Amino acid sequence: MIGRLNHVAIAVPDLAAAAAQYRGTLGADVGAPRALPEHGVTIVFVTLPNTSIELMEPLGEASPLAGFLQKSPAGGMHHLCYEVADISAAAARLEAEGARVLGPVKTGAHGRPVLFLHPKDFTGTLIELEEATP
Amino acid sequence: MIGRLNHVAIAVPDLAAAAAQYRGTLGADVGAPRALPEHGVTIVFVTLPNTSIELMEPLGEASPLAGFLQKSPAGGMHHLCYEVADISAAAARLEAEGARVLGPVKTGAHGRPVLFLHPKDFTGTLIELEEATP
């Protein structure tokens, strides 16, 4: 069912510093910051030859990253995003197998439908599913 | 400098259960377990179309995963592995910029030279560098 690894998301306390480090120290191709107020984050994509790294900084008071960064002030890996062909079919299959789908399908950073799966159901890893571009 | 994302490693308390979940619930292509006693882990690779997920379970008393799983008994994302063209050149560049290279270059799960970078220097993310196949 899962296809490509669309991206790995890393929560960071200082997006400008993290972007500068990926661009400078690691010599990667780093995009411009984009605010996603509906997700409570500002993001930057690091484009690698085969996938992307999404650096995310909290945006606003109710950011879902606030708790994460309270526990891990230096930042850390936050979630993995796998592509699926049909997000409704994927959600139905996963729910039938007892996995908890978190909230309704939303529109993700690439303008595609996304949903999240409970990390406790997947070896402590928060998984995002994104419907791949047809 | 960094090239492809070679793999994302996830520490798990029960490799057989995690492999079964990636194969069954997530419908992915999951390989056979391999013991790497020199690294203190048993691993399974999940092959995605563009990269791999490395599921890792502790092997032996002195496994480097023991502490991680004590803090996160359900498991969790452990490290990211980026490919570089020349691992010695990468290590020299990173050390010149003040990043801490952890230990000497070893041979990794793909039989290629690898090293690790201190997570505190990279927004809480443990980074492995692997010299890409020429």
Please state the domain extents for chain A: 5-131
Multiple choice CATH, A5-131, 3.40.50.12780, 3.30.70.360, 3.10.180.10, 1.10.357.10? 3.10.180.10
The phi-psi region of residue A78 (left if phi > 0; otherwise alpha if psi is between -120 and 50; otherwise beta) is alpha
Residues linked to residue A83 through DSSP beta bridges, in sequence order: A130
Residue A104: predicted pLDDT: 87
Average pLDDT, chain B: 95
Size of interface A-B (CB pairs under 8 A): 109
What DSSP character marks residue B111?
A: S
Residue A109: predicted pLDDT: 87
By CA distance, what is B8's nearest residue in A?
A8
By CA distance, what is A17's nearest residue in B?
B123
Least confident of A76-80, A99-103, B9-13: A99-103
8 Å CB contact of B123 and A55: yes
Residue B50: its chain A contacts at CB < 8 A? Answer: 4-5, 50-51
Percent of chain B beyond pLDDT 70? 100
Residue B33: predicted pLDDT: 98
What DSSP character marks residue A13?
A: S
From the list B54, B57, B83, B128, the catalytic residue is B128
Tokens of A86: 């049909």
8 Å CB contact of B94 and A4: no
Residue B123: its chain A contacts at CB < 8 A? Answer: 10, 12-13, 18, 21, 55, 74-76
The C-alpha of A7 sits at a distance from chain B's nearest C-alpha, in angstroms, of 10
Q: What is the mean pLDDT of residues A76-93?
A: 96
| Distances, alpha carbon B79 to alpha carbons B7, B10, B102, in Å | 9, 7, 13
Least confident of A26-35, A95-104, B76-85: A95-104
In the residue annotation, A54 being an active-site residue is answered as no
pLDDT band at B1 (very low <50, low <70, confident <90, very high): very high
> Where are the alpha helices (H) located in chain A, listed in sequence order?
15-23, 66-71, 87-96
CB nearest to B28's CB, from A2, A10, A48: A2
Q: How open is the CA angle B79-A69-A66, to the nearest 5 degrees? A: 135
The C-alpha of B93 sits at a distance from chain A's nearest C-alpha, in angstroms, of 8
Rounded to a whole number of angstroms, the CA Rg of chain A reads 15
> Where are the alpha helices (H) located in B1-134, listed in sequence order?
15-23, 66-71, 87-96
Q: Tens digit of pLDDT for each residue in B4-50? A: 999 999 999 999 999 999 999 999 999 999 999 989 999 999 999 99
The span from the CA of B124 to the CA of A74, in Å, is 5
Residue A67, judged by CB atoms within 10 A of its CB (0-12, 13-18, 19+), counts as exposed
By CA distance, what is A71's nearest residue in B?
B124
